[in-house]
Amino acid sequence: MTAAPDCLFCKIVAGEIPAEVVHESARTLAFRDINPQAPLHVLVVPRDHEPNAAASAEADAAMFAEIATSARAVAAGEGYDDYRLVFNTGAGVGQTVFHTHGHVLAGRPMGWPPG
């Protein structure tokens, strides 16, 4: 497993910082967002560190697909058939933790376009 020493999400994956974990797979960890934007707001992160979704998809497409599979499992486990999966890639679009993570959002109407 690759980790970045100062990465918040790497520390959560390692168990150094507590989080409310709702789903785990061999290569992902899903936990509740501390500032939820919907009744369901869970972050799905790869256990290996990559700075953003584009880097993760390039480094390991199968692992990136597992993020989507884990997101589906999270939504279903919480009783939602409809959900939104969001990746922010770069500070200019709101990424604040530079470890790939997908936001699983559900439980309220969501407009389009987002943002």
**Could you report the per-residue pLDDT of 19-75, keeping only the tens digit for each?**
999 999 999 999 999 999 999 999 999 999 999 999 999 999 999 999 999 999 999
Specify the pairing of strand 40-46 against strand 28-32. antiparallel
Q: Is 101 a catalytic residue?
A: yes
> Where along the chain do its domains lie?
8-95
If 0-12 CB within 10 Å is exposed, 13-18 middle and 19+ buried, where does residue 33 land?
A: middle
pLDDT of amino acid 23: 98
pLDDT of amino acid 114: 83
Model-level pTM greater than 0.85?
A: yes
pLDDT of amino acid 14: 97
Q: How much is the average pLDDT of 95-107?
A: 98
List alpha helices for the chain, DSSP H: 8-13, 53-59, 61-77
Of 23, 49, 99, 101, catalytic: 101
DSSP strands (E only) in 5-107: 21-24, 28-32, 40-46, 84-87, 102-106
The topology (CATH level 3) of 8-95 is: HIT family, subunit A (3.30.428)
